[in-house]
Each structure stands twice: as structure tokens, then as C-alpha cells.
Amino acid sequence: MIRPKPAPARLDPLSYESLRRQILRRDGWRCQSCGTMTNLEVHHREFRSHSGADAEENLIRCAWTVTGEPTSCGNDSVHHAHACA
């Protein structure tokens, strides 16, 4: 019998905020797709629900377009993939 992988444990809010800030510094406060420094968010490359971890290697900085859609972050596997405006 094949069993689904359990979802990775989430970091507590303070630890996640610290990791989020680390990602922002790592990526130079720029969108990894278009290079903008505005409307930035940190996203998981792989969904948490698909066993994506709250880990540095699974997080990337993305910019949100003026229409409220996230950019693709230069990676087709990033959820909500859209082109930079």
C-alpha cells in the first residue's frame, strides 16, 4: 500500500518571519523574475500541501503586479505563475 507523504511541519510564526527576512536579504530585496524592488512577497517553490518545506531552498522572492497577481519568479513550478508586468 502506498501512503501519501505527510506535509512537513510548519515553522512557528516567529521562526517563519525570521526565515522570510533572511530570504529577502539573500535575494537582495529584488524580485527573482523581473528585478523590481516593490510589492515583494516570499513564496514556496513547492506548495506546502505538496510536501514543500518552510526551508530556505524552497523559498523565493516574488513581486506582485499592479493587478494583484504574483510573478512567476522565473520558475514555472512556483504556484500562481504569471509574467511580470
Taking the domains of the chain in order of start, what are their residue ranges? Answer: 30-85
pLDDT tens-digit profile of 22-74?
A: 999 999 998 888 888 888 888 888 888 788 888 889 888 887 654 455 555 54
pLDDT tens-digit profile of 28-39?
A: 998 888 888 888
- The beta strand positions in the chain, using DSSP E, are 40-44, 59-63
Q: Which residues contact 67 (CB under 8 A, 6 or more apart)?
A: 85
* pTM of the complete model: 0.63
Alpha-carbon span 11 to 84, nearest angstrom = 29
Alpha-carbon span 44 to 72, nearest angstrom = 12
